[in-house]
Chains A and B, each alone.
Chain A
């Protein structure tokens, strides 16, 4: 039963990702991106990472795609009919397919792990404890990074001379 869910979610996620990359209309890309993120959130649930699934939906689906849609509305002339790919499509396809093949080969041959580790109970509270004990320094650095990104984004997006 889990396999059925996994394959359904995997096909859904990859198909939505392909639509993101191949869609000629940039708004269609953004909407397909929402579906791809939701599929990845489902994969997280299958991996017993409920907290990260919720975070994925809140931040990616609720935050980043809305931000992207705002930027699209502010900048692009939608459905302008212009060419959406640059002239290096062929070479890029070769590079992307090659990289994917190498990654799949490496993960099939290089990593031999049979069987799951026992599931951690109470993922969320364990994660919170880890963030404030073992990983407290990266946690604080991340807060500084977010502050710097916020200030930087405001300064970059502000009009000159205001």
Chain B
């Protein structure tokens, strides 16, 4: 049987990878992908804890469903914003979009 800490470690690793991507990538779409990775890591933790906690109902899985819902909404709105950015600036590199930067 696999200990719970293995799953939590996997979640932490995925979260770290996604965090690095969200902090360093220049392309706005790549940043969205990295955020999706981080949300996935959170879902792994939710489901693992829902499986391993004593006396647990399936509340963790229900929360994972809500996280997936929010991720889908976030992807749709985020990509619409990226399309709008591209139309106005002819680039999707976030460090070139600095109109309001000091």
Binding site for B on A (CB under 8 A): 2-3, 6, 10, 13-14, 17-18, 20-21, 26, 29-30, 33, 36-37, 40, 43-44, 46-49, 51-52, 55-56, 59-60, 63-64, 67-68, 70-72, 74-76, 82-86, 88-89, 92-93, 95-97, 99-100, 103-104, 107-108, 111, 113-117, 119-120, 123, 126-127, 130-131, 134-135, 138, 142, 145-146, 148-150, 152-154, 156-157, 159
Binding site for A on B (CB under 8 A): 1-21, 23-27, 29-30, 32-34, 36-37, 40, 43-44, 47-48, 50-59, 61-62, 64-66, 68-77, 79-84, 86-87, 92-93, 95
Assess A33 versus B33: contact at CB under 8 Å? Given A55-B65, A127-B58, A156-B83: yes
Contact B24 A85 (CB under 8 A): yes
Within the complex, the shortest CB–CB distance from B21 to chain A, in Å, comes to 4
Contact A156 B4 (CB under 8 A): no
Partner of A113, one of B11, B25, B53, B65: B53
Taking CB atoms, residues of chain B closer than 8 Å to A148 are 73
Assess A153 versus B33: contact at CB under 8 Å? Given A43-B7, A97-B16, A130-B62: no
Assess A100 versus B1: contact at CB under 8 Å? Given A145-B73, A156-B81: no
Partner of B87, one of A72, A135, A159: A159
Within the complex, the shortest CB–CB distance from B59 to chain A, in Å, comes to 7
CA distance A161 to B9 in the complex (A): 50
